[in-house]
Amino acid sequence: MLTDPDSGGRSELGRLIDRIRARSVRSLWLLATPEGKQLTKGMLRLRFTAAREAAAGRAEESADLVLAARIRQFQFRDARPKAASEMALDHASDLLGHSDKQITKVVYQRVGKRVKPTK
């Protein structure tokens, strides 16, 4: 897995792990600021809100007011179902760590049934 069976050299994953191991440890936190401090829930909320407002502002600059409104309605908790709805059920289930695909389908995939227009 870390070595390419054909060439005997490091695989892409192996090279990535080598690069990560060569880095100096700046923080033991999974989510950290550039200074290595813990990224708190409040900090994450502020960054998400700022990014959402920036995206909505760009949509408004493009005169797409409908998109700007949809962006402002988007909440952080919508990210998991949105991602799961945009990929195949098998992949979404694996990504979300579900042992039963039915959980992914019922709880996270929010894609409506395609229907033909009436006219």
Domain that includes residue 85, residue range? 76-111
Residue 75 CA, distance from chain mean position: 13
For residue range 4-54, list pLDDT tens digits in order: 888 889 999 999 999 989 988 888 898 899 898 999 999 999 999 999 999
| Within-domain flag for 14 | no
Domain count within the chain: 1
* DSSP string computed for the chain: --B-TTTSSB-HHHHHHHHHHHSPP--S-SSB-TTS-B--HHHHHHHHHHHHHHHHHHHHHTT-HHHHHHHHH--GGGHHHHHHHTS-HHHHHHHHT-SSHHHIIIII---PPP-----
| Within-domain flag for 82 | yes
pTM above 0.85, yes or no: no
| Within-domain flag for 86 | yes
For residue range 87-114, list pLDDT tens digits in order: 788 888 888 888 888 887 777 766 667 7
